[in-house]
Amino acid sequence: MAPESTGGSSMLKSLRGVVQEVSTARDLPETLAIIVRRVREEMETQVCSVYLVDPASGRYVFMATEGLNKALEGRFSLARDEGLVGYVARREEPLNLEDASAHPKFKFIEGSGEELFRSFLGVPIIHHREVLGVLVVQQRDRRRFDEDEEAFLVTMSAQLAAIIAHAGLAGSYSELRRGTRPKSGEFIGIAGAPGIGIGQVVIVSPPSDLKAVPQRACEDAEQEIALFHAAVARVQDEIAVTRQELTGRVGAEELALFDAHAMLLADRALSGEVVTRIREGNWAQGALSQVVLEHVRTFEIMEDAYIRERGADIRDLGRRVLAELQASVRETTTYPARCILIGEEIPASALANVPRSSLAGIVSVSGSGNSHVAILARAMGVPTVMGAVDLPFTALEREEVVVDGHQGRVLVSPAPEAMAQFREMAAAEQLAEEQIAANAHLPAVMQDGHAVSLLVNTGLNSEWVRSLGRGAEGVGLFRTEIPFLIRERFPTEEEQRLIYRAQLEAFAPRPVTMRTLDIGGDKALPYFPIEEENPFLGWRGIRVTLDHPEIYLAQVRAMLKASAGLGNLRVMLPMISNVSEFDEARALLVRAYSEVLEEGWAVRMPQVGVMIEVPAAVYQAGVLARRADFLSVGTNDLTQYLLAVDRNNARVANLYHAFHPAVLHALMDVVDAAHRAGKPASVCGELAGDPGAALLLVGMGYDSLSMSAPNLARVKSVLRRFTRAQAAELVRKVSRLDDARDVRAAIEDRLRQEGVVLRAGG
Ligand code: PEP
Ligand code: MG
């Protein structure tokens, strides 16, 4: 590459150009072929090659080249630390040599043609801390690649790593070279909900989303082609109608845009390509999405801004045709007997649609272990993997997969022996669950007679019934947003009253703590979108409801009316970061209460509590406790805000530790502040459902713990083995530790000493 052309915006442009072109590839061999061709061109060098690690053997396979002997592609490999490539892989650093053969690690590969090239620059391809391979450029002259060139290749490799990881289904690369895409592989994500789930994939795709369309074999090509043509015709009609309506009202230039769109749709080349893909075996929606996305990418790499814009037009038209196709086949999805839901995101409504008995597992490409879907999944006891970012999920429709919710991995069509093992594990788990559940009726009384109040977190109907069976003493957190999330509009006051009444009645006389609507963050209502750069620091929870008193008032009125004659309602306010928010919310509640009384309902003023979820509330816990009737710590949010780790972001999931000393000290301060004010304190975040953490929280003095129903029996069985003094001793011990991992290890040790069997993956 000419040095002057590497500087500033031209370097950025060529980087973008390569990355965009690479992302048009359909599979790994094509991805690699584009990389070697384009990088060689951009760097104006003679050789570019890619080596990738074969997960089966751990060796770096010579996968693609431009400039060396292509016949050797896929035919030789190097061990880690073998040859210059292995050396780059081991050191995880670039290697830039003016004379490769002079390096002690140099290994000559017979027949490669390498003897013609003197200089060598190799950079590791690293994705999620793992070396996937090595990208190499070589040239004839004995000359070190300059700094700009090295920086260019490093940047390129960092950008390509994710694309390569995505394109390469893990598995044997030699299979890939033969062009047979392996139908098996292991994909790493994050543990979302424990358990092993085995079943067939059903893809959850939001409407009109070209990227989420499942690739599915078509049964009747002619019928699919007819559907496609009909969908195109409907979009053409719509365009013609709109054009007609606007004629005379807008200028000729705007009208010409409609003509351009109509022409794009009429373009035989575009629809011809879709038809060819259908004849090759893809269904209409899959063929359309492939063709449109390829065209969009081609347009996006054009220099000319006007032409790039046409890419956006094609995408828009593609979406409209897709929407028509989807509307024409709105068949009700039939769920296999054991179904694994997979999608970029899994909305709560998708969970609600699958019959509970069929839902065997969930995989979400985005999100993390403390995303709300994961919490729901845990509550439902459905094995779940989150953040499976490299899973090529659109290609997996109806494939058999295993969801390992302990270790956070998805296995696509594993070998029969592995499958048999997973089936055994699933059966053993089921048995262990049943044994623990058999003791669910025993009280949560510790060895010294101290009784701990164990409550349940609810939101989905099915949970109440199960939790009652498992000995919950009430509800510590009813996430009221869930009934809101699975609707197409805000539920009316009366609809809400009925939902709340059912829950209050089911538990009466035991308390039910209803949290007021907590939307925002990763919980968006489809009919009330909140689009923000930083949703977890934005318009969330109490901030939204105080800005919309009509929504808040309808909700608390519904809660109050639902409690008539029962008197077991408690109200809890989420995301409080200022005392004024509590004061305002309570004042509105008092107003609603007097109105409901005036209307003749026999209601009592409920207790009102504050959730401690943000650091500000930890520091003001005393003040808040004096105003409120109780405090409840939401450790899911408190952890993310104290540690500055987005609970929904898979990339930083390894930093999200609820056992972090900062979180533990905050928890100790909150319970002390509550007790000094003479008020009870509870924990209702996921931490409370971890048996070891539950012991610790009791040791700190928490009065009650609220958790997902499946955790009740396990937590109870652990608490019953200890005295409160032993729990307090454990708190003293871990409060001296500096690191979350040490805290976890100390707790686990203590549990083992008492004979507690720990589950795989915690
Ligand atoms: C929490 O933040 O700990 C909590 C219980 O609320 P949610 O998980 O619904 O945000
Ligand atoms: Mg919260």
Question: What average pLDDT does range 332-345 have in this prediction?
Answer: 88
Q: Does residue 368's CB lie within 6 angstroms of at least one atom of ligand 1? A: no
Order the strands of the 400-404 sheet from edge to edge. 185-188, 409-412, 400-404, 196-204, 339-343, 359-364, 384-386, 190-193
Ligand closest to CA 373? 1
Omega of the bond prior to 509 within 30 degrees of 0, cis?
yes
Residue 493's pLDDT band (boundaries 50, 70, 90)? very high
Alpha helices in 44-132 (DSSP H): 83-91
Residue closest by Cα to atom 1 of ligand 1: 634
Question: Whole-model pTM above 0.75?
Answer: yes
With a cut of 60, say whether residue 122 has pLDDT above it.
yes
Tell me: the pLDDT tens digits for 252-307? 777 777 777 777 777 777 788 899 999 988 899 999 998 888 888 777 767 677 77
Residue 410 is encoded by which pair of tokens?
């998805």
Tell me: the pLDDT tens digits for 695-723? 999 999 999 999 988 889 889 999 999 99
CB contact set of 140 (below 8 Å; sequence gap of 6+): 46, 116, 117, 118
Question: What average pLDDT does range 622-630 have in this prediction?
Answer: 98
Please check whether residue 600 is in contact with residue 607, taking contact to mean a CB–CB distance below 8 angstroms.
no
Planar angle of CA 470, 476, 479, nearest 5 degrees: 105
Question: What average pLDDT does range 510-521 have in this prediction?
Answer: 95
Question: What average pLDDT does range 735-744 have in this prediction?
Answer: 97
pLDDT at 293: 86
Residue 635 is encoded by which pair of tokens?
């450790």
With a cut of 90, say whether residue 602 has pLDDT above it.
yes
Q: Does residue 637's CB lie within 6 angstroms of at least one atom of ligand 1? A: yes
Residue closest by Cα to atom 3 of ligand 1: 634
Residue 651 to residue 654: CA distance in whole angstroms: 8
Which residue from 485, 522, 611 has its CB within 8 A of the most atoms of ligand 1, so it is best to mutate? 611
Please check whether residue 553 is in contact with residue 531, taking contact to mean a CB–CB distance below 8 angstroms.
no
Residue 80 to residue 205: CA distance in whole angstroms: 40
Burial track 4-42 (b if 16+ CB lie within 10 A, e otherwise) = eebeeeebeebbebbbebbbbbeebbebbbbbbbbbbeb
Greater model confidence, 180 or 577: 577
Beta bridge partners of 250: 247
With a cut of 90, say whether residue 93 has pLDDT above it.
yes
Which domains, and CATH codes, for the chain? 4-171 (3.30.450.40), 180-205+337-414 (3.50.30.10), 210-328 (1.10.274.10), 448-753 (3.20.20.60)
Among residues 324, 382, 317, 321, the alpha carbon closest in space to that of 348 is found at 382
> Exposed/middle/buried for 741, CB within 10 Å: 0-12, 13-18, 19+?
exposed
| SS3 (DSSP) at 51 | strand
Distance (Å) from CA 373 to ligand 1 centroid: 12
pLDDT at 465: 59
Q: Which of 231-240, 315-324, 653-662 has the highest mean pLDDT?
A: 653-662
Could you tell me the maximum CA-CA distance found in the chain, to the nearest angstrom? Answer: 95
Q: Which of 77-81, 175-179, 464-468 has the highest mean pLDDT?
A: 77-81
Which residue from 480, 518, 614, 690 has its CB within 8 A of the most atoms of ligand 1, so it is best to mutate? 518
Beta-carbon-side half-sphere exposure of residue 687 (alpha carbons within 13 Å): 29
pLDDT at 354: 84
pLDDT at 31: 86
Residue 572 to residue 558: CA distance in whole angstroms: 15
pLDDT at 8: 52
Using H for helix, E for strand and C for coil, what is the string for 161-183?
A: HHHHHHHCCCCCHHHHHCCCCCC
Residue 684 appears among annotated catalytic residues: yes
The values of phi and psi at residue 308, to 5°, are -60, -40
pLDDT at 173: 40
With a cut of 90, say whether residue 247 has pLDDT above it.
no
Give the percent of the chain with pLDDT over 90: 56
pLDDT at 26: 72
Tell me: the pLDDT tens digits for 32-50? 999 999 999 999 999 999 9
Question: What average pLDDT does range 360-380 have in this prediction?
Answer: 89
> Exposed/middle/buried for 448, CB within 10 Å: 0-12, 13-18, 19+?
exposed
Residue 562 to residue 541: CA distance in whole angstroms: 22
Please check whether residue 190 is in contact with residue 301, taking contact to mean a CB–CB distance below 8 angstroms.
no
pLDDT at 572: 98
pLDDT at 740: 97
Tell me: the pLDDT tens digits for 569-579? 999 999 999 99
Question: What average pLDDT does range 209-229 have in this prediction?
Answer: 87
pLDDT at 184: 64
Tell me: the pLDDT tens digits for 312-327? 888 888 889 988 888 8
With a cut of 60, say whether residue 590 has pLDDT above it.
yes
Residue 180 to residue 193: CA distance in whole angstroms: 33
Total length of the chain = 762
Residue 197's pLDDT band (boundaries 50, 70, 90)? very high
With a cut of 50, say whether residue 406 has pLDDT above it.
yes
> Exposed/middle/buried for 534, CB within 10 Å: 0-12, 13-18, 19+?
exposed
Which residue from 460, 636, 670, 704 has its CB within 8 A of the most atoms of ligand 1, so it is best to mutate? 636
pLDDT at 138: 96
| H or E stretch at 138 | strand 130-139
Q: Which of 227-231, 529-533, 662-666 has the highest mean pLDDT?
A: 662-666
With a cut of 90, say whether residue 363 has pLDDT above it.
yes
pLDDT at 467: 59
Return the beta strands (E) in 262-391 as ranges: 339-343, 359-364, 384-386
Residue 536: DSSP 8-state: G
* CA-only gyration radius of the chain, Å: 30
pLDDT at 176: 38
- In whole numbers, what is the pLDDT of the chain averaged over residues? 88
pLDDT at 625: 98
Burial track 654-678 (b if 16+ CB lie within 10 A, e otherwise) = eebbbbbbebbebbbbbbbbbbebe
**Tokens 């963050």, residue located:** 521
| H or E stretch at 324 | helix 305-328
Ligand 1: which atom is nearest the Cα of residue 370?
8
Burial track 468-481 (b if 16+ CB lie within 10 A, e otherwise) = eebbbbbbbbbbbb
Please check whether residue 513 is in contact with residue 474, taking contact to mean a CB–CB distance below 8 angstroms.
yes
Residue 535's pLDDT band (boundaries 50, 70, 90)? very high
Q: Which of 101-115, 296-310, 593-607 has the highest mean pLDDT?
A: 593-607
Among residues 550, 479, 486, the alpha carbon closest in space to that of 517 is found at 479
With a cut of 70, say whether residue 171 has pLDDT above it.
no
CB contact set of 215 (below 8 Å; sequence gap of 6+): 282, 286, 290, 394, 395, 397
How do strand 359-364 and strand 384-386 relate by DSSP bridges? parallel
Distance (Å) from CA 576 to ligand 2 centroid: 10
